[in-house]
Structure 1
Amino acid sequence: MKTLFLTGGNNGIGYYMVKEWLQNGNYAAVLDMNCGNINRLKEIYPESLLTFESDVCNKDSVKIAVNDTNAKFGSIDYAVHNACLCLFKSFEEHSKEDFSKVIDVNFYGAINLTEAVIPIMKSQRRGKICFTSSGVGITGFIDISSYASSKGAIEAFAKCMNIEYEDSGVTFHIMHPPLTDTESSSPLPIPKEFKSSPEKVGKGFVKNIDGKKFIITPSFGDKISVRLSYAFSLPMGRMLVKMTKKARTDLK
């Protein structure tokens, strides 16, 4: 049995990752600002699931949750920073506080989780730390400059950590979901039928999380999309903007 520690698991992709993980007979711990939904799984898995209602921006709270999880289950094999904040505003509408708020959750949250789990994983001589990214962190996009910038920072951070800890037994990875029908993507003017199911995406990540590649995707099709985004970042970004504007017009 292996242990997964995940931030941002009360709903969406994170929730279904944890659900699938538990169904496979493993241990899981979730840290989220609100654990009302994920706590329902405790009724089914009372001895296999821990939840911590806390803010990933609170470094001390993250460390306590990680240490409590390690004490309860005896190891932490996988750590996933999935908590995120996305503000849909033009750059000129963004305040400095908006950027700080988004970067605190999306980027510094990843740092807080890494600082908490790395001593445990180093002592185990094994462990996998994953950060949920986004295609817009590669390609750019309109009206989400703070979010896209935070995801770009996550990409660079994961690469640095992967190199820095390559002899420790701990590896770092980027998880790339497709556009998914989640709360954070709901303001996008794109019909639901063009968004992936969070359950399907969550299950796909669990299925592929043991892969050795730096980039983890939930399906082969998503893998191709991500490769195209890296190879043709700006053209892909412009194409996505055009598609979004068309969808917005069609919905009027």
Structure 2
Amino acid sequence: MKTWFITGTSTGLGRVLTEKLLAKGDRVVATLRKADALNELKEKYPEHLWVVVLDVTDTAAIKTVVNQAFAEVGQIDVIVNNAAYALFCSVEEASDEQILHQINTNVIGSIQVIRAALPHFRKQGHGHIMQLSSAGGQTTYPNFGYYHTTKWAVEGFCDTIAKELAPLNISVTIVEPGAHETSFGSGMTTAPVMEAYEHTPAGDVRRAIAKGTFPIKGDVDKTVQAIIDSTAVSPAPLRLALGGDAYRDMRAALVSRLEALDAQKELAMASEKKD
């Protein structure tokens, strides 16, 4: 039996993950912004589920909640940073407030949850950080510029700390799902549309999603089960790509970047100081 701390559990992948873990007998500290969203699960699993209201943009609250969670349930084995949302608009359309909220939620919130957990993980001698990112942490789609900003940022952070934490028996896994119904469409925040972008790739993607022609094939149940199963793998995978679209789009982006880098090899080497 493992004990999990999961942010963003009221809907989507976080909710399904919580349900599956409780059904298999694990314990879950579930954080959310809507206090009553997990009442049914709390009644069903009163001894295995702790529900805490938390806004991950509130750093002081994060520290308090994480400290209380370890104090009340004792050992926590896995921290899952799941709370996030997607700002869906072209680069000019977003307001300053929307941009800051996107970064504060997806990046700063994730970082501060990890920072709050680390002293406890070090004290107990082990821990596993699971950071929900996206295929959009390795590739990009028009209209998701600010969302990609956060996912690329948090992947860079997690890639770095994985090296720092490995000697302390603390592992890091970056989860990179493709498109799922839980993350596309209903969960996105939009901004007023500018006519200038209607006949650009941003407009094309916007229309595809509105018409339902943007391919969304991710199976939530299979994705969540793969996340759970990955915690039994040793050493823990640094990255976990989930979904055919995630694999194809990420691979294409990586191959393209590698080809561009290789094409600049002579220029890169020529810019070095000569011995």
Does the TM-score normalized on the shorter chain lie above 0.5?
Answer: yes
What is the aligned partner in structure 2 of residue 249 from structure 1?
Answer: none
The change in CA–CA distance for 1:178 and 1:223 in structure 2 (over 3 A counts) is closer
Asked if 1:214 corresponds to 2:238, the answer is: yes
Give the drift of 1:218: 4.7
1:195 alignment partner AA:
K
Query: Structure 1 residues 144 and 72, CA, compared in 2 at 3 Å: closer, same or farther?
Result: same
Counterpart in 2 of 1:197? 219
Using the alignment, how far apart are the partners of 2:58 and 2:256 within structure 1?
34
The more displaced of 26-35 and 6-15 is 26-35
Q: Take 1:167 and 1:35, find their aligned partners in 2: how far apart are those partners? A: 38
SS in 1 for 2:79: strand
Aligned residues: 234
SS of aligned partner of 1:131: strand
- TM-score w.r.t. the length of structure 2 is 0.78
* Alignment partners' CA distance in 2, 1:103 and 1:119: 24
Residue in 2 that maps onto 1:148: 148
**Deviation of 1:203 (Å):** 2.4
Alpha carbons 1:209, 1:216 under 8 Å: kept: no
Percent of matched pairs sharing the same residue: 28
- Residues 178-237 of structure 1, C-alpha deviations (whole Å, 9 max, x = no match): 210115543634459733233332222112233321012456x577447515523679xx
Tell me which residue corresponds to 1:239.
none
Query: What SS does the aligned partner of 1:83 have?
Result: coil
Distance 2:241 2:102 in 1: 23
Pairwise CA RMSD: 2.3
Give deviations 1:80-109, integer Å, cap 9, x for gaps: 111112111110112332211101000001
Q: For residues 127 and 253 of structure 2, what CA distance do their matches in structure 1 show?
A: 26
Taking the aligned partners of 2:133 and 2:9, their CA distance within structure 1 comes to 15
Structure 1 segment 29-40 matched on structure 2, within 5 A: 29-40=29-40
Cα separation, partners in 2 of 1:144 and 1:137, compared to 1, 3 Å: same
- Contact 1:139 / 1:230 at 8 angstroms: preserved in 2? yes
Q: 1:133 to 1:209 in 2, by over 3 A?
A: same
Q: Measured at CA, do residues 118 and 17 of structure 1 come closer, stay the same or move farther in structure 2, by a change above 3 Å?
A: same
Partner of 1:28: 28
Q: What does residue 232 of structure 1 align with?
A: 255
The answer as to whether partners of 1:31 and 1:56 remain within 8 angstroms in 2 is no
Structure 1 Cα separation of the partners of residues 29 and 160 of structure 2: 26
CA–CA distance in 2 between the matches of 1:142 and 1:91? Answer: 9
Q: CA deviation at 1:63?
A: 1.8
Task: Write the distance in 1 (CA, Å) between the matches of 2:213 and 2:6.
Answer: 29
Does the CA contact (< 8 Å) of 1:85 and 1:184 recur in 2? no
Aligned residue identity for 2:117:
V
Shift in Å at residue 149 of structure 1?
0.6
- For 2:242 and 2:35, locate their aligned partners in 1 and report how far apart those are by CA, in whole Å: 24
Which structure 1 segments of 5+ residues have no match? 236-252
Amino acid at match of 2:96: K
Separation in 2, partners of 1:122, 1:231: 34
Closer, same or farther in 2 for the Cα pair 1:230/1:22, shift >3 Å?
farther
* Partner secondary structure for residue 66 of structure 2: helix
Conserved? CA contact 1:12–1:199, under 8 Å: no
